[in-house]
């Protein structure tokens, strides 16, 4: 399967690409989409928008299907930050239920946005014991009747550690809080089923594990939609945007979380990768991912390299983070030798469905040579 898939990804021809939790590989069929887009611009007519809007909706519905949601439960926009801001703008933060419980392992945009909503009364409670993992018991204790939202990542961008979502969602719902999951680091490589998990909001994006470019998405639990009216909004969220008259109400589906005129190209491009992944199936992707991350763990252990990520399969996401002295410089030296990974306080090695075990061995061989050279 991997051999057949590799032919779709040009970036693999020039390097060992283990960077999918930063920027995933993009399939070559994307070029035809770009060509079509350019042809559209060359022969511009305003009614092109009809086709674009329906392709955008079709992409959103395909994302929904990929994560177990019904049509109309997903909306797209440029990035996760924009969509999280829209979620935040739905609430009035009146005490006593004005707390946002989150963790120390959020991508920096998450605490930044919640602190900004402090001016409207949001009170941020960051559950942290430091270190690479989540303090799940402390999370259980800190979620209570004062909690409006629990906002957590499915997996940490820095360490790959995964949170126990069923346990967390149960506790949150038991006390009447809603759950927002930033699943950018898992959707596309770890099974994530919004219905089975019963999450209220899920955020993700195309350009890491989803083999796409420049678009993000938000799932909203359909039963919640009628109760939510984002203040950060735009004309496309209205009930009848294409009349170009002032809206009289909100779109019934997740489009009520839209903003202004979208940039359709990124969704058109990202559809190519999404269809490819959906064709493989998330269970097969996860199985391959676990085989690859297991190989990294074995090699790290043999080389005496400390691993920052959880090692048990049920707790690790798609990435293995290695504790490497002067790691950022090592990352650059590896890149000079065509071994591509990323650095966020640890060396993040992120294989996907298009990587082979031989590539992982080649990467780990090169890393060991580099570490030897710097006398580690
Ligand atoms: C967990 C997580 N959330 C969010 C983001 C990015 O957010 P945005 O789409 O707003 O740039 C990243 C990485 O870029 C991430 O790893």
Mind spelling out the 3-state secondary structure of the chain?
CHHHHHCCCHHHHCCEECECCCCCCCCCCHHHHHHHHHHHHHCCCCCHHHHHHHHHHHHHHHHHHHCCCCCCCEEEECCHHHHHHHHHCCCCCCCCCCEEEEECCCCCHHHHHHHHHHHHCCEEEEECCCCCCCCHHHHHHHCCCCEEEEEEECECCCCCEECCHHHHHHHHHHCCCEEEEECCCCCCCCCCCHHHHCCCEEEEECCCCCCCCCCEEEEECHHHHHHCCCCCCCHHHECCHHHCCCCCCECCCHHHHCCCCCCCHHHHHHHHHHHHHHHHCHHHHHHHHHHHHHHHHHHHHHHCCEECCCCCCCCECCCEEEECCCHHHHHHHHHHCCEECEECCCEEEECCCCCCHHHHHHHHHHHHHHHHHCCC
Calculate helix-pair angle for 265-280, 48-66, nearest 10 degrees: 30
From 181, 182, 206, 319, the mutation candidate for ligand 1 (largest count of ligand atoms within 8 A of CB) is 182
Q: Which atom of ligand 1 is nearest to the CA of 83?
A: 10
pLDDT for 333 equals: 97
Q: Which residues line ligand 1 (CB under 6 A)?
A: 79-81, 107, 109, 153, 157, 182, 184-185, 205, 216
Are 210 and 24 within 8 A, CB to CB?
yes
Q: Which atom of ligand 1 is nearest to the CA of 185?
A: 1
| Cα 62–Cα 63–Cα 64 angle in degrees, nearest 5 | 90
Q: What is the CATH number of domain 45-277?
A: 3.40.640.10
Distance 193 CA to ligand 1 centre (A): 20
In degrees rounded to 5, what are phi and psi of residue 228? -110, 130
From 107, 202, 209, 213, the mutation candidate for ligand 1 (largest count of ligand atoms within 8 A of CB) is 107
Q: Whose CA is nearest to atom 14 of ligand 1?
A: 22
Distance 107 CA to ligand 1 centre (A): 6
Burial tier of 192 (Cβ tally within 10 Å: 0-12, 13-18, 19+): buried
- The answer, yes or no, to whether the previous bond of 96 is cis (omega within 30 of 0) is yes
Q: Where are the domains of the chain?
A: 2-28+281-373, 45-277
Distance 306 CA to ligand 1 centre (A): 26
Distance 299 CA to ligand 1 centre (A): 29
| Cα 245–Cα 70–Cα 23 angle in degrees, nearest 5 | 90
Check whether domain 2-28+281-373 has CATH 3.40.47.10, yes or no: no
Distance 183 CA to ligand 1 centre (A): 9
Q: Which two tokens stand for residue 265?
A: 């190209």
pTM, two decimal places:
0.97
Contacts of 7-12 spanning 24+ positions with Cβ under 8 A:
8/276, 8/354, 9/211, 9/354, 12/354
pLDDT for 73 equals: 98
pLDDT for 130 equals: 87
Distance 271 CA to ligand 1 centre (A): 19
Q: Which atom of ligand 1 is nearest to the CA of 153?
A: 1
Are 194 and 220 within 8 A, CB to CB?
no
pLDDT by residue, tens only, the chain of 376 residues:
788 999 999 999 999 999 999 999 999 999 999 999 999 999 999 999 999 999 999 999 999 999 999 999 999 999 999 999 999 999 999 999 999 999 999 999 999 999 999 999 999 999 998 889 999 999 999 999 999 999 999 999 999 999 999 999 999 999 999 999 999 999 999 999 999 999 999 999 999 999 999 999 999 999 999 999 999 999 999 999 999 999 999 999 999 999 999 999 999 999 999 999 999 999 999 999 999 999 999 999 999 999 999 999 999 999 999 999 999 999 999 999 999 999 998 999 999 999 999 999 999 999 999 999 987 6
List all residues 6 or more positions away from 311 whose beta carbon is below 8 Å from its beta carbon.
297
Are 303 and 368 within 8 A, CB to CB?
yes
Q: Which atom of ligand 1 is nearest to the CA of 79?
A: 9
d(CA 48, CA 51): 6
Distance 57 CA to ligand 1 centre (A): 22
Q: Whose CA is nearest to atom 5 of ligand 1?
A: 107
Distance 42 CA to ligand 1 centre (A): 34
Q: Which two tokens stand for residue 251?
A: 């779109």
pLDDT for 39 equals: 97
Are 103 and 90 within 8 A, CB to CB?
no
């Amino acid at each position: 399967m991997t051999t057949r898939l590799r032919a779709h990804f040009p970036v693999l021809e020039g390097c060992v690409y283990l960077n999918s939790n930063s920027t995933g590989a993009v399939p070559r069929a994307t070029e035809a989409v770009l060509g079509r887009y350019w042809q559209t611009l060359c022969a511009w007519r305003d009614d092109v928008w009809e086709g674009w809007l329906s392709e955008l909706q079709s992409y959103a519905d395909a994302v929904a299907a990929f994560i177990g949601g019904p049509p109309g439960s997903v909306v797209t926009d440029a990035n996760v930050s924009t969509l999280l801001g829209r979620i935040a703008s739905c609430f009035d933060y009146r005490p006593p239920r004005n707390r946002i419980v989150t963790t120390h392992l959020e991508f920096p945009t998450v605490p930044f946005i919640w602190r900004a909503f402090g001016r409207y009364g949001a009170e941020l409670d960051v559950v942290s014991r430091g270190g690479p993992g989540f303090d799940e018991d402390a999370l259980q204790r800190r979620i209570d009747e004062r909690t409006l939202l629990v906002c957590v990542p499915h997996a940490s961008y820095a360490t790959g550690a995964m949170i126990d979502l069923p346990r967390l969602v149960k506790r949150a719902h038991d006390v009447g809080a809603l759950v927002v999951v930033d699943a950018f680091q898992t959707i596309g490589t770890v099974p994530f089923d919004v219905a089975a998990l019963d999450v209220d909001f899920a955020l993700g994006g195309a350009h890491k594990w989803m083999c796409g470019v420049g678009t993000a998405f938000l799932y909203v639990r359909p039963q919640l939609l009628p109760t939510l009216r984002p203040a950060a909004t735009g004309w496309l969220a209205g009930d009848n945007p294409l009349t170009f008259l002032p809206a009289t109400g909100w779109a019934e589906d997740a489009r009520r979380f839209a903003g202004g005129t979208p940039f359709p190209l990124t969704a058109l491009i990202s559809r190519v990768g999404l269809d490819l992944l959906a064709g493989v199936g998330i269970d097969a992707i996860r199985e391959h991912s676990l085989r690859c991350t297991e190989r990294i763990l074995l090699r790290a252990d043999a080389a005496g390299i400390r691993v920052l990520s959880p090692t048990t399969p049920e707790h690790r996401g798609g990435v293995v983070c290695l504790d490497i002295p002067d790691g950022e410089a090592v990352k650059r030296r590896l890149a000079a030798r065509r071994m591509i990974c990323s650095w966020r306080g640890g060396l993040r090695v992120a294989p996907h469905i298009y990587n082979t075990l031989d590539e992982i061995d080649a990467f780990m061989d090169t890393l060991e040579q580099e570490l030897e050279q710097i006398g580690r």
